[in-house]
Each structure stands twice: as structure tokens, then as C-alpha cells.
Structure 1
Amino acid sequence: MLNKLKRALVLLETVVASSSLLLLLLLLLIQIIARNVFETGFPQLDVISRHLVLFVIFFGAGLVTEQGQHIRIDILASLLSPQQRKILVRPLLGLCALLCAAMAWYAGLFWLSEWQYAQSNERLAAVLAAVIPVGFTVLALHFSLLALLGSEPSSELGSEPAKMQDKAKSA
């Protein structure tokens, strides 16, 4: 059940991130042509483009989290044994899920406030800004699934530096 959810989430993120990137490129091309050839521009395209970057970032972040390629701060990981790292992976993934969930909650509150007080000409930006709480929710879901289902060996805490250090010790 959780694996199906995980696959569906990855598929959704792939579609959203890739289509957002393609749409971003298309809108930027239209804006460049409009400015350079016709000496005019579309102000709303700039707003949409800025928010499409957020779509690519958040949904791309979910994808790299799923692959275990997310940014990690591995200060102490190289000092831990493989068994200790394995024990710490799931609790740390759970902590990351909680932090992302808290960020999603507060981003949602901020977005709701922004939506309530947005002027009519700023409604589009307010709607598109919903990607921030949604993005943090997606990240929280990914970290939760990784904590519950376990992570792949390549995504373990400090895997690359620790693997290199383990190889050096065994040689």
C-alpha cells in the first residue's frame, strides 16, 4: 500500500516538475521574443515564471529526496560505524519529516493570510504561491515514507563519505 503511494507520488512529481520546466522555458521564450521583437512584454508571465521555478524546485526536491540525493549535513556521519548510521537513518528521516510538516503548516498559514489580503491584481500570484505549503507537504510525505519503509542503501546517512572511509579502513 505504501509502496503504491510512493510510486504514485513519484509519478505525479515527475509530471509536475517536468511539465513546469517545459512551461517555464516556453513562457520565457515567449517573453524574450515579445520584448526583443515586438518591444512589449507580458507582466503576468514574469509572475508565472517566478512561481514555476518554485514548482520545479519543490517537486524536484521531492524526487531527489526519494532517490536519496537530497542535501544532507553529515557532520558526524563519518565518525559513526555503519551499524550506528543504520540505526540513526530512520529517526533522522522522521525528524526531517516533522520539520517539513511544520514548515508546511506555517507556510500554509502564511499563504492563507496572503490569500485573504491579496488585491484582485495579485490573486494569480497568491494562487501560485500555494506551491510552497504543498511542496513542503510533499517533502514531509517523502521523508515519512522513507522513514516507514526504510531507505535504499545509497541514501543512508553519510553513505558516500562513510563508504569511502570504510574502504580506506579495510585496505
Structure 2
Amino acid sequence: MKRAVHALSRMLRGIEDTLLAVLLAVMVILAVGQIVQRNLFDSGFVWTDELLRILVLWLTVIGALVASRTDQHIRMDVLVRFVPSALQGPLRRVVFVATAVVCGVLAWHSYQFVRIEAEYGSVLLGGYPSWWFQCVIPIGFALICWRYLALAIYPPPQQQETSEAV
């Protein structure tokens, strides 16, 4: 079971990294192209701004997924820092499960949102169904949920916390 989880994690890691790089490159090219068109030619594509907003959504969700792969996402684990080291491991697992539950709930509700968008027939980019672009939200939260469940079962080695003030 552990080997299958690691194989799936490796595959997902490669897909995530590739998607992030491609999305960021496309966003930079589109944004710079739009600026050049507006400033030099007094024109631009009507759909560029809407597409850039969609790409920001995708980049954000995939970035959150990448951050969760090594538990580098935003954490609410103040209590873990103040308990004895013997209790930190089990308490971290509880935090991972709680995070998975929250992401699972968010996945479910964002799925409901996307389903309603599909029922109402909302469109983006001049006629494409909006749910095509919004489906990244429930999928992303479901994958983060899965990842935190995996972290609860196979937690990463405990990281050294720095006490330096920023």
C-alpha cells in the first residue's frame, strides 16, 4: 500500500510541477502580449483578461496542492509547538486529519458549486461552459484532502522550527 501511495504521489508531483510551469509561462506571455498590444497598437484581445483570471485560479489551486505535498501549506499548529516532543508526532497526525476533513468538506461544497454552474449553463471566454474552468476547485481540494490523509498515515520527518523573528 505504501509503495502505491508513493508511486501515485510521484506521478502527481510531476504533473503538478509541469502544470505550474506551463500555466506561469502562459500567463506571463499573455500578460506581456496584452500590455504590448494596448500600449503600442491601441488594441488587444477581448478574452485575454478573462483567461488570465481563470489561469490565476488554476495557478492558485495547483500551487496550494504543491504546497501541501510536503506540509508547507498554511498551518494552524500552534499547539504542536508547546507540547512535549513525545506528543508532537501524534498531535501532528491529528492536525493532518483535521486538515483533510476541512479540505474534504471544501471539495464537496465546491463540487456542488460547479454542479450548479453546469446546471445554469454559465459560460466563459465567449461561450465555453464555466464548469470546465472551475472544476479545478473541487479536484484540487479533493487531492489536498487525499494528500493530508496520506501525511496522517505516513507523516514526513519532523522539521526543525526556527525561532528567529522576522
| The one of 140, 145, 155 aligned to 1:150 | 155
Partner of 1:169: none
Task: List aligned pairs for 1:131-146, cutoff 5 A.
Answer: 131-146=136-151
Aligned length: 159
The residue type paired with residue 77 of structure 2 is: D
Partner of 1:100: 103
- Asked if the contact 1:48/1:128 (under 8 Å) is kept, the reply is no
| The one of 61, 78, 83 aligned to 1:75 | 78
Task: List aligned pairs for 1:9-158, cutoff 5 A.
Answer: 9-120=12-123, 121=126, 123=128, 125-154=130-159
CA distance in 1, matches of 2:127, 2:112: 18
CA distance in 2, matches of 1:22, 1:82: 43
Give 1 or 2: higher helix fraction.
1
State TM-score, norm by structure 1.
Answer: 0.83
**Is 1:160–2:161 an aligned residue pair?**
yes
- Runs of at least 5 residues in structure 2 that lack an aligned partner in the other structure: none
State TM-score, norm by structure 2.
Answer: 0.86
- Runs of at least 5 residues in structure 1 that lack an aligned partner in the other structure: 165-171
Greater RCO, CA 8 A, separation 6+: 1
- Asked if the contact 2:99/2:148 (under 8 Å) is kept, the reply is yes
